[in-house]
Chain A
Amino acid sequence: MNFLQPIGSVILHFLETVGRLIRFSVSAFSHTVRPPFYPRIIIRQMVDIGFYSLPVVGLTGVFAGMVLALQSYTGFARFSAEGAIANVVVLSITRELGPVLAGLMVAGRIGASLAAEIGTMRVTEQIDALTTLSTNPMKFLVAPRIIAGLITFPFLVLVADVIGVFGGYIVAVYKLGFNPSNYLQNTWDFLQAEDVNSGLVKAAVFGVIVTLMGCYHGYNSRGGAQGVGMATTNAVVSASIMILCFDYILTEMFFAGI
């Protein structure tokens, strides 16, 4: 029965990690709602997470929209249903591709940099130093970043939505020869507040996931530069997987009745 032992220890280790993550999250969330708040840090993080991610998010959006128009054209032409392209583009972008692709791209950018920054602070004892200077590191480091992620992600996704639809428009009009005003009219007709809203809610959840995973892995990193490197990788990988997983769960919740 010896082969059961490694399986057991893997499961135990997994449960332990989940438990630690949950405890960290609860503590982090409780600090986001209790004073003191650090508005200066929140604003700086919003600029870092939001403003500087705009190029990445914009490029992701435009190419996603373009390729979507192109692909659906090839597919729908077989059924002579080319007219549905505007519909497909706006629906897929606002519901799925906007939040998920933007979330994944920003997870790479922000998850990594948060984990590296906080991880370095951990291994150089800066987090310990905070504690000795009457500052709770969860409140000072983690809470502002989570708040910033929660607020800025929906805006980023809104930008990705607009640019993504615009990308689809460019391909449809300039490459596939659609009538511009018809295409826009179609897009507008198919656009539903519910689709956009569900995407924005997803974005807010992804914003929390990305910042939380970055902070968690950085905060718990051990053992010098190598430990920080590992924390960075783990932050990006875990945030990406959780984004895809929560994307499914949230979609199920929003559109279960349909």
Chain B
Amino acid sequence: MTNVNPKISLRGVKKAFGPKVVLDGIDLDVGVGESVVIIGGSGTGKSVMLKCILGLLHADQGSITVDGTEVVGANAQVQEQVNSKFGMLFQGAALFDSLPVWENVSFGLLAQKRVDRDEAKELAVAKLAQVGMGADVAELSPAELSGGMQKRVALARAIASDPEIIFFDEPTTGLDPIMADVINDLIVKITREVGATALSITHDMTSARKIANRIAMLYEGKIIWAGPTEDIDQSGNEYVDQFIYGKADGPIKMAVRA
């Protein structure tokens, strides 16, 4: 927590679905221009945490501030204004299947009336090129793309409006290793060169090491470890060790029976 004025700050954030407690007091800071990666087992609430910050889910308790503005319990106007700073890559891509690929990519820009339709299309093609896709896909419908291609279109959409803060929910899942590395480079470029703040979720430790300044691990509703990427191998935390080396034996017990 090196930053005095973090871009995003979570304090004691709790979220439960009925009796099921998912987030149980999250404390996390993301500094300006920093790239933080959240790791943690499947179903531990990583996606839920991002959605709480975006106001798509409402945190039950605690405080979430973005540039000092409180979003927990904020009214629609405040939330809208805060959200205009964000770009979000959804885990399941969430492309609009009624629109062609290029309109998906430039949707945010068109919505904010920052460009006209011709410019929007040019810009979409340029963004698609950044994620390794040719101009020929621009006219296709999302349903005509493979899963990995949809993910990349969604990535292009998330970065299209050059947001200050970008959330990547599993950006490299479903991509081949080479394309995954291209995407990693892209994320690094966006954060290091453009200066955007990034909060990513990934299970892919290669990707995490490459894109993160800092890594935080979520387990049983809490951040159990957070530190600079270089320190992850010497975290001294047996949960983290088990996770990053992907061992079935260890303190984290999977609810499976042989």
CB–CB B86/A132 < 8 A: yes
B80 touching A132, Cβ below 8 Å: no
CB neighbours of B97 from chain A (8 A): 126
- B51: which A residues are within 8 A, CB to CB? 128
Given the known A-B contacts A134-B80, A134-B83, are A129 and B112 also in contact in the complex, defined by CB atoms under 8 Å?
A: no
Q: Are B80 and A128 in contact (CB under 8 A)?
A: no
The reply to whether A131 and B54 form a contact with Cβ atoms under 8 Å apart is yes
**Which residues of chain A have C-beta atoms less than 8 A from B84's C-beta?**
134
Complex contact B83–A131 (CB within 8 A): yes
| CB of B158, distance to nearest CB on chain A (Å) | 8
Contact B108 A134, beta carbon cutoff 8 Å = yes
Q: Are A126 and B96 in contact (CB under 8 A)?
A: yes
> Which of A125, A126, A134 has the most chain B CB within a 10 Å cutoff?
A134
Chain A positions within 8 Å of B55 at CB level: 131
- Please give me the residue from chain B that is nearest to A123 by CB atom: B92
- Within the complex, which residue of A121, A128, A136 is in contact with B90, where a contact is CB–CB below 8 Å? A128
Q: CB distance A125 to B54 under 8 Å?
A: no
Interchain CB contact under 8 A, B54 and A133: no
Mostly, the A contact residues are helix
The answer for the CA separation of A121 and B96 in the assembled complex, in Å, is 8
Whether the Cβ atoms of A126 and B95 lie closer than 8 Å is yes
Task: Report whether A133 and B107 are in contact in the complex, using a CB–CB cutoff of 8 Å.
Answer: yes
Question: Which residues does chain B contribute within 8 Å of A185, judged by CB atoms?
Answer: none
A126 touches B112 (CB 8 A): no
Please tell me the size bucket of the interface on A: 10 to 19
In the complex, A126→B56 CA distance in Å? Answer: 12
Given A125-B94, A129-B90, A129-B94, A136 and B80 contact (CB-CB distance below 8 Å): yes
Per the bound structure, the CA–CA distance linking A155 and B90 in Å amounts to 41
Looking at the complex, which one of B83, B90, B98, B157 makes contact with A125 (CB distance below 8 Å)?
B90
Q: Is there a chain B Cβ closer than 8 Å to A179's Cβ?
A: no
Residue A135 lies at the interface, judged by CB distance under 8 Å to chain B: yes
Contact between chains at A125 and B108 (CB < 8 Å): no
Binary flags per residue of B68-107, CB closer than 8 Å to A gives 1, else 0: 0000000010001001101110101011111000000001
Query: B14-56 toward A: CB 8 Å interface, digit per residue (1/0)?
Result: 0000000000000000000000000000000000000100111
Q: Which residues from chain A sit less than 8 Å from chain B, CB to CB? A: 117, 121, 124-126, 128-136
Further 16 A-B residue pairs, CB within 8 A, beyond A132-B83, A135-B111: A121-B96, A125-B90, A125-B94, A128-B90, A128-B94, A131-B54, A131-B83, A132-B87, A133-B108, A134-B80, A134-B83, A134-B108, A134-B111, A134-B112, A136-B76, A136-B80
Interface, chain B (partner A; CB < 8 A) = 51, 54-56, 76, 80, 83-84, 86-88, 90, 92, 94-98, 107-108, 111-112, 157, 161
5 contacts between A and B (CB under 8 A): A121-B96, A126-B95, A132-B54, A133-B157, A134-B80
The 8 closest A-B pairs by CB, nearest first: A133-B108, A125-B94, A129-B94, A132-B88, A135-B111, A134-B111, A128-B56, A133-B107
